Amino acid sequence: MKSILHPKLQILENQFSRSILTPINDPVLSERQLQLSVKRDDLLHPVISGNKWRKLKYNLNHALYSGSNTLISMGGAYSNHLHALAFVGKALGLKTRAFVRGEQPACLNPTLQDLQTWGMQLQFVSRSEYRQLRQFKHYHSLPDLKPGEYWLPEGGATDLALQGVAEIIPEIDAAYDVLMVACGTGATLAGLIAASPNSSQVLGVAALKAGGFLYQDVQQLLPAQQTMAGWDILLDYHFGGFGKTSSVLTAFMQQFQTLHGVPLEPIYTAKTLFAFYDLVQLGYFKTGTHIILLHTGGLQGWRESPWL
């Protein structure tokens, strides 16, 4: 695989900003001699923010060098992955298609409207058909692909995604002990594990119910024969399942935003922060621990407030 960026992709990446590290000043943490910093990947780009860009970057690079002209993927009606893919496809001059989970709504939400505006062709499929699509893990594995068509599995979760996620680690210009991140498909978590120093711990927070399968998915993505940092996945902070929330989580999210000026969404990053503060109360972290929490973006899906 070529690691040198395709010229088209390089032009696009030149539009990105550097992700900053925001320290969180909180008496609750000071009392326990803990440090929390949020890596603001939500600030990378106005549209293609967070881990969606990280996971797409080298998949797109491979697609461009392979001579592909059409990107095909899958996601839900509020998918941050499809939102990023549709925008970047238009920016790179590539056609985009998507299998969208569920029946076509009578009125498209802002996410789906954006997809259409950017030229993405939408095909709505049943939930059972959608589950079947998850078995196709490689860029050439979707049945009946035509020449020039490139398949991206759900969330862009491929081994190439790990290469982009790994670039997060050298951008963290501070010593730290623990790195926390929301976990959907497991690709971002796997990329952080593979790139992290062995002295640090990587904690994933499952955004979906019954996420035990993520252990196997992460293991499959990780490079073989490589020494990995210590890692784990917290499975009890999903608030009922993917896309589910509660008044408790919403109140926590709003309070954190007000106190610290960091915008959140309730599907990924707010759940991860909630898990962090719960672990603090439980005495999970040793005195003097510095925790980095990765803000994975995804704020666009909160425009419609579908989970309130």
CATH of the domain at 264: 3.40.50.1100
Which structural domain, as residue segments, surrounds residue 119? 51-156
Rounded CA gap, 130 and 138, in Å?
16
- The band of 308, judged by pLDDT with boundaries at 50, 70 and 90, is very low
Q: Are 194 and 275 part of one and the same domain?
A: yes
If asked whether residues 233 and 128 sit together in one domain, one would say: no
Q: Which of 156, 188, 210 is at the close of a domain?
A: 156
Question: What pLDDT was estimated at residue 49?
Answer: 85
In terms of domains, do 16 and 62 share one?
A: no
- Determine the pLDDT at residue 229: 67
pLDDT above 70 for 225: no
Selection from 238, 63, 83 nearest residue 138 by Cα: 63
Look at residue 197 and tell me if it is in a domain: yes
Q: What is the mean pLDDT of the chain?
A: 94
Task: For residue 275, tell me if it sits in a domain.
Answer: yes
Q: Among residues 156, 189, 212, which one ends one of the domains?
A: 156
- Check whether residue 177 and residue 295 sit in a common domain: yes
10 Å CB burial of residue 232 (0-12, 13-18, 19+) is exposed
Task: Check: CB of residue 269 under 8 Å from CB of residue 295.
Answer: yes
Lowest mean pLDDT among 15-29, 170-184, 214-228: 214-228
Examine the domain organization and report whether 267 and 233 are in the same domain. yes
Does residue 115 sit in the same domain as residue 189? no
Q: State yes or no: pLDDT of 278 exceeds 80.
A: yes
Query: Which pLDDT belongs to residue 307?
Result: 43
Of 14-18, 198-202, 224-228, the least confident = 224-228
Q: H helices then E strands: how many in the chain?
A: 12, 10
Q: Identify the sign of the CA torsion 187, 190, 195, 200.
A: positive
Domain-embedded: residue 2: no
Q: Are residues 112 and 129 in the same domain?
A: yes
- 258 and 112 in one domain? no
Distance CA 207, CA 236 (A): 9
Q: What are phi and psi of 262, to 5 degrees?
A: -110, 115
In 3-state terms, what secondary structure has residue 186?
coil
Examine the domain organization and report whether 42 and 55 are in the same domain: no
> Measured on CA atoms in the order 147, 120, 130, 207, is the torsion positive or negative?
positive
Name the domain count of the chain: 2
Report which secondary-structure segment, H or E, holds 40.
strand 35-40
> pLDDT of 135-150, one tens digit each?
999 999 999 999 999 9
